[in-house]
């Protein structure tokens, strides 16, 4: 994985919903974040239970697996092969978002749309729901902790913030432990900056990496 990996995804705990009517058929699309097979299946089941009388509940999802290729799945749920799940998946993978699932519910209106019409309908329904998604950015960061004297901590914290470092924690004890989140590639630059800032008195302690979510 890229040491400075980051990507866009739907916000947590939010569902985007859109509805289209095409030749009397209703297409209701739901999009949400999923980050595992279980989450994806639960989302599909939840939408299916919400619309138990619908003719079709077509779906697709695409999510990251750290250290492996992304997982992608799709289902036509009774529509002709390749006319529903694959078009939904194509829109999702082309959106620039990851960790994403979409279920498009269809209430049949009595008029057949044909193969091309179905592909367009499911693509359009997915696209309409995507317009309701306000993405966030998931970024791989490293935590770096520095210990300052109480008399110096405020000034050094202000210097770090002014330089653009994201301060995630300030803990007061015998000294002040200040933690910042940095991209892994910034480790050397932060170390040099803090050494210069404190005239060699303080060196950052680098912990393991973690994913953080930031505004897109």
Instruction: Encode pLDDT of 7-65 as tens digits.
Output: 999 999 999 999 999 999 999 999 999 999 999 999 999 999 999 999 999 999 999 99
DSSP letter string, 118-171: HHHHHHHHHHHHHTT---EEEEEEEEEEEEE-HHHHHHHHHHHHHTT-EEEEEE
Q: Where are the CATH 3.30.70.240 domain residues in the chain?
A: 137-215
Asked: is 137-215 a CATH 3.90.1310.10 domain? The reply is no
CATH 3.30.230.30 in the chain is located at 8-134
- Dump pLDDT digits (tens) for 105-153: 999 999 999 999 999 999 999 999 999 999 999 998 899 999 999 999 9
- What CA–CA distances, in Å, run from 60 to 3, 44, 91, 101, 183? 29, 9, 10, 6, 32
Round to the nearest angstrom and report the end-to-end CA distance of the chain: 21
Q: How would CATH label the architecture of 8-134? A: 2-Layer Sandwich (3.30)
- Is the alpha carbon torsion for 196, 198, 203, 204 positive or negative? negative
Say which residues have a Cβ less than 8 Å from residue 202's Cβ, sequence separation at least 6. 146, 147, 148, 156, 194, 195
pTM: 0.82
């Amino acid at each position: 994985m890229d040491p400075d990996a980051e990507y866009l995804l739907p916000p947590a705990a939010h569902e985007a919903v859109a509805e289209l009517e095409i030749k009397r058929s209703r297409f209701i699309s739901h999009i949400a974040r999923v980050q595992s097979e279980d989450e994806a299946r639960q989302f599909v089941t939840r939408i299916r239970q919400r619309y138990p009388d619908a003719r079709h509940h077509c779906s697709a999802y695409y999510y990251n697996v750290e250290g492996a290729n992304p997982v992608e799945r799709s289902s036509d749920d009774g529509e002709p092969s390749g006319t529903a799940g694959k078009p939904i998946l194509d829109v999702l993978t082309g959106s620039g978002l990851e960790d994403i699932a979409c279920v498009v519910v269809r209430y049949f209106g009595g008029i057949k749309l044909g193969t091309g019409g179905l592909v367009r309908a499911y693509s359009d329904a997915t696209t309409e729901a995507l317009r309701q998604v306000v993405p966030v950015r998931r970024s791989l960061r490293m935590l770096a902790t520095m210990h300052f004297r109480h008399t110096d901590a405020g000034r050094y914290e202000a210097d770090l913030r002014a330089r653009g470092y994201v301060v995630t924690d300030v803990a007061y004890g015998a000294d002040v432990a200040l933690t910042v989140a940095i991209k892994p590639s910034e480790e050397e630059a932060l170390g040099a900056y803090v050494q210069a800032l404190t005239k060699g008195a303080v060196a950052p302690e680098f912990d393991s990496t973690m994913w953080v979510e930031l505004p897109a």
